[in-house]
Amino acid sequence: MTQGFYLRFEIEGVPELSRILGLTYQKLGNLKKPLRASANLILEDVEQQFKTEGGLTGGWQPLSEATIRGRKGSAHPILQVSGALRRSFYSLVDEKRAIISSKSPYFKYHQSRMPRKKLPRRAMLVLTDRTKENIVQEFNQFLRFK
């Protein structure tokens, strides 16, 4: 028998959500259903970040004048000239974990928390408080009916 259930999500190695669900559960086994639901919630937030140009995190920094000139005067949509970055997000879910990432080679440069001089941080993969609460609810509901 397990004493509690530990739920942890990280972005770039930084814990974004750590919660012990305090009930005692037997034979936790396959968590694919709540992990899939959690991954979908996070991917919905990624989509919202693109739709609102970073609205979930206070908005992305505007494009530089040089970038706007290179786009023939167009400042919007940010990070979406071809749409490839937006379409590159995916999730891999199994019985014990979910991975949400991007196939884009330049995603990591926009997402990174590393100090920067030129390229501003424009995080696409985020966990909002609302999403964190919804993830915890997904697991609580799943585990209650297990």
What secondary structure does DSSP assign to 12-36, as a single string? TTEEEEEEEEEEEES-----HHHHH
Q: What is the pTM of this model?
A: 0.83
Kindly report which listed range (15-29, 32-46, 54-68, 88-102) carries the lowest average pLDDT score: 15-29
Asked if residue 57 has pLDDT above 90, the reply is yes
Please report the pLDDT score of residue 1 as a whole number. Answer: 41
The pLDDT-based confidence of 81 (bands split at 50, 70, 90) is confident
Mean pLDDT of 96-121: 91
Q: What angle do CA 6, 27, 143 make, to 5 degrees?
A: 55
Percent of the chain with pLDDT over 70: 86
Q: Taking residues 94-115, report their average pLDDT.
A: 91
State residue 89 phi and psi, 5-degree precision. Answer: -80, 145
Q: What would the pLDDT profile of 36-54 be if each residue is shown by its tens digit?
A: 999 999 999 999 999 999 9
45-84 CB burial, b ≥16 within 10 A, e <16: bbebbbeebbebeeebeebeeeeeeeeeeeeeebbeeeee
Q: Once rounded to an integer, what is the mean pLDDT over residues 21-44?
A: 80
Output the pLDDT for position 134. 95
Among the residue ranges 3-17, 33-47, 53-67, the one predicted with the least confidence is: 3-17
Mean pLDDT over 108-118 rounds to 90
- pLDDT category at 7 given cuts 50, 70, 90 is confident
**Alpha carbon separation from 14 to 112, 113, 121, 126, 146 (Å, rounded):** 11, 10, 16, 11, 30
Q: DSSP secondary-structure letter at 58?
A: T
